């Protein structure tokens, strides 16, 4: 079967689908000989212990239990105990994940993860019931139709959010900075994910990329071509908005990076076994913009594949990163199909930016820090990779925690405020002029010099 490479942001799921980011899909599941494995006799004793517990539960639990449920729960517990991004998917969840990589799925349009028993919103997907209902990143979903989600697995919670199109569902959520629970009612829809939106803001081409699926690179290429045709010689450059983009397919992250690069490394991965490590380089002539200035917007919801793109463009000095520190997921997951049509998602490698740094637990530090609001946002629960349980260590990369110091920033960055003034208008997604990070990003862009004017 064809190998697919991709990345996953946490144990993230979209309400109605598993989030499609897969790193590696490989055909048969097998065991690999390893001289460092535990003593076989001890292993057999532990397997006997598992069998004893299994039989005791089957025989004596207060109610009859399904053998498949017991085994699947045990497998999932084994994987989720490793790190936040390894997990087991039954046949339905695996099928859902495969569907979403094509960009169409059913549900509410919420990307969610689980931490400490809470179902937490990673990001609402643009133009979905969740986005229109005002669901925000960081919201904790407490109940669905009056029933608590406490004690449910992420799969079970997502299943409850699914349903027939046009059926209503009521959510009670805990929102950061809001004392009382927030009640939200919305109707389920078939979600057709439009991963790229673009527009011409005067002399600046704005491109919003919401996730990395099979549509991402083709959609970016169309958007760049359209904006260049609209802007003509007046076009000053491009804004690539990766805010609240939780990631997706690795091959798409590489392709999107190459859409703005002509040369140099994009990303490398290092696995436990050196023969499985890989490196991806940009292809000559790949920059679709002809070297026009590029600014990338990132925030704490920018993760995984988004961080690969941001890290590559930052390290190669192709773009200036504006915003706040990104999520910090620097690992790669392999999706391995199993008997019975399920699969396991297993962390198999770390990835590194072109300068050799790992962003695991650290994130991408912006070149120009610009916050969304003037108020300090209170913290409620985990916000970034480093806040999660069982996180991987940051190892194998260069010592520096951020990109090497830049000497190519335009002088205007010294004048860019890190927070909006008190009289700044409230954010309105229909009015770009209220988006403080975007406004400052455009100011930086207009002060940049083209990278390769002759290539236009």
Give the chain's length: 456
**What digits encode the pLDDT tens for the residues 321-340?**
999 999 999 999 988 999 88
Q: Are residues 296 and 425 in the same domain?
A: yes
pLDDT-based confidence at 107, cuts 50/70/90? confident
Domain annotation covers residue 356: yes
Write down the mean pLDDT value for the chain.
Answer: 86
Asked if residue 356 lies in contact with residue 397, where contact means CB atoms within 8 angstroms, the answer is: yes
**pLDDT on residue 150:** 83
Last residue of a domain, one of 144, 172, 192: 192
Q: Domains in the chain: how many in total? A: 2
What is the arithmetic mean of pLDDT over 190-205?
Answer: 90
Q: CB atoms < 10 A from the CB of 56, how many? A: 10
Here the CATH number for the domain that contains residue 204 is 3.90.226.10
What is the rounded distance in angstroms from the CA atom of residue 308 to the CA atom of residue 245? 12
**pLDDT on residue 59:** 95
Q: Which of 236, 224, 19 is nearest to 123 (CA)?
A: 19
Domain annotation covers residue 71: no
**pLDDT on residue 140:** 92
Domain annotation covers residue 75: no
What is the arithmetic mean of pLDDT over 193-215?
Answer: 92
Q: Are residues 208 and 172 in the same domain?
A: no
Exposed, middle or buried, 454 (CB in 10 Å: 0-12/13-18/19+)? Answer: exposed
Q: Are residues 117 and 164 in the same domain?
A: yes
Please, which contacts does 422-430 make with residues 24 or more away whose CB atoms are closer than 8 Å? 422/374, 424/374, 427/372, 427/373
**pLDDT on residue 105:** 63
pLDDT-based confidence at 155, cuts 50/70/90? confident
Exposed, middle or buried, 271 (CB in 10 Å: 0-12/13-18/19+)? Answer: middle
329 is written with which tokens? 């997921």
Beta strands in 90-139 (DSSP E): 104-107, 110-115, 118-124
How many H-runs (helices) and E-runs (strands) does the chain carry? 9, 22
**What digits encode the pLDDT tens for the residues 340-381?**
889 999 999 999 999 999 999 999 999 999 999 887 665 655
Q: Are residues 375 and 294 in the same domain?
A: yes
Domain annotation covers residue 16: no
Domain annotation covers residue 17: no
Q: Are residues 273 and 305 in the same domain?
A: yes
For 455, phi then psi, to 5°, come to -85, -5
pLDDT-based confidence at 33, cuts 50/70/90? very low
Last residue of a domain, one of 169, 192, 215: 192
Q: Are residues 153 and 271 in the same domain?
A: no
Q: Are residues 385 and 443 in the same domain?
A: yes
Residue 432 has pLDDT above 60, yes or no: yes
Asked if residue 308 lies in contact with residue 266, where contact means CB atoms within 8 angstroms, the answer is: yes
Asked if residue 356 lies in contact with residue 269, where contact means CB atoms within 8 angstroms, the answer is: no
Domain annotation covers residue 28: no
Here the CATH number for the domain that contains residue 132 is 2.30.42.10
Domain annotation covers residue 338: no
Q: Are residues 200 and 175 in the same domain?
A: no
Distance of CA 54 to the CA centre of its chain: 36
Distance of CA 414 to the CA centre of its chain: 31
211 is written with which tokens? 């996730």
Q: Are residues 115 and 161 in the same domain?
A: yes
Catalytic residues: 304, 315, 329
What is the rounded distance in angstroms from the CA atom of residue 398 to the CA atom of residue 413? 27
pTM: 0.78
Q: Residues 6 or more apart from 144 whose CB is under 8 A from it?
A: 157, 160, 161, 169, 170, 171
pLDDT-based confidence at 37, cuts 50/70/90? low
Last residue of a domain, one of 192, 213, 246: 192
Q: Are residues 160 and 200 in the same domain?
A: no
- H, E, C per residue of the chain: CCCCCCCCCCCCEECCEECCCCCEECCCCCCCCCCCCCCHHHHHHHHHHHHHHHHHHHHHCCCCCCHHHHHHHHHHHHHHCCCCCCEEECHHHHHHHHHHCCCEEEECCEEEEEECCEEEEEEECCCCHHHHCCCCCCCEEEEECCEECCCCCHHHHHHHHCCCCCCEEEEEEECCCCCCCEEEEEECEEEECCCEEEEEECCEEEEEECCECCCHHHHHHHHHHHHHHHHHHHCCEEEEECCCCCCECHHHHHHHHHCCCCCCEEEEEEECCHHHCEEEECCCCCCCCCCCCEEEEECCCCCCHHHHHHHHHHHCCCCEEEECCCCCCCEEEEEEECCCCCEEEEEEEEEECCCCCCCCCCCCCCCEECCCCCCCCCCCCCCCHHHCCCCCCCCCCCCCCCCCCCCCCCHHHHHCCCCCCCCCCCCCCCCHHHCHHHHHHHHHHHHCCCCCHHHC
What is the arithmetic mean of pLDDT over 232-248?
Answer: 94
Enclosing domain of residue 431: 196-329+351-451
Instruction: Report the DSSP beta bridge partners of residue 354.
Output: none
Q: Are residues 229 and 182 in the same domain?
A: no
Domain annotation covers residue 78: no
Q: Are residues 165 and 275 in the same domain?
A: no
């Amino acid at each position: 079967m064809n190998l697919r490479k991709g990345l996953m942001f946490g144990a993230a799921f979209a309400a109605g689908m598993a989030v499609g980011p897969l790193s590696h899909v490989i055909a048969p599941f097998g065991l690999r000989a390893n001289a460092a494995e535990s003593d076989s006799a001890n292993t057999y004793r532990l397997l006997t212990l598992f069998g004893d517990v299994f039989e005791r539960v089957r025989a004596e639990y207060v109610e009859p239990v399904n053998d498949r449920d017991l085994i699947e729960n045990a497998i999932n517990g084994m994987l989720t105990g490793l790190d936040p991004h390894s997990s087991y998917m039954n046949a339905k969840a695996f099928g859902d994940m495969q569907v979403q990589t094509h960009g169409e799925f059913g549900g509410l349009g919420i990307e969610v993860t689980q931490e400490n028993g809470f179902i937490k919103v990673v990001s609402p997907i643009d133009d979905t019931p969740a986005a229109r209902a005002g669901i925000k990143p960081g919201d904790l979903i407490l109940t669905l139709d009056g029933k608590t989600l406490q004690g449910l697995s992420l799969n079970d919670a997502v299943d409850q959010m699914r349903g027939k199109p046009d059926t209503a569902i009521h959510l009670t959520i805990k929102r950061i900075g809001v004392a009382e629970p927030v009640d939200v009612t919305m109707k389920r829809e078939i979600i057709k994910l439009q991963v790229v939106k673009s527009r011409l803001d005067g002399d600046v081409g704005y491109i919003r990329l919401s996730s990395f699926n099979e549509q991402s690179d083709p959609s970016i290429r169309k958007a760049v071509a359209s904006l260049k045709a609209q802007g003509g010689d007046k076009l000053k450059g491009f804004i690539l908005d990766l805010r609240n983009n939780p990631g997706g397919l690795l091959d798409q992250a590489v392709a999107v990076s190459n859409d703005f690069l002509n040369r140099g490394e994009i990303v490398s991965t290092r696995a436990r076994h050196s023969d499985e490590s890989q490196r991806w380089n940009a292809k000559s002539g790949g920059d679709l913009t002809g070297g026009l200035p590029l600014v990338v917007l990132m925030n704490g919801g920018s993760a995984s594949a988004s961080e690969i793109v941001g890290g590559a463009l930052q390290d190669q000095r192709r773009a200036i990163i504006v915003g706040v520190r990104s999520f910090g997921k620097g690992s790669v997951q392999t999706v391995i199909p199993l008997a019975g049509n399920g699969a396991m998602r297993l962390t198999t490698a770390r990835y590194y930016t072109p300068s050799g740094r790992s962003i695991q637990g650290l994130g991408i530090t912006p070149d120009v820090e610009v916050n969304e609001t003037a108020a300090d946002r209170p913290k409620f629960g985990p916000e970034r990779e480093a806040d999660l349980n069982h996180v991987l260590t940051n190892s194998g990369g260069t010592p520096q925690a951020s990109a090497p110091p830049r000497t190519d920033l335009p002088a205007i960055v010294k004048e860019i405020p890190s927070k909006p003034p008190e009289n700044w208008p409230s954010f309105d997604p229909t009015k770009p002029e209220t988006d403080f990070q975007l406004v400052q990003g455009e100011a930086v862009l207009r002060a940049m010099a083209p990278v390769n004017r002759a290539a236009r």
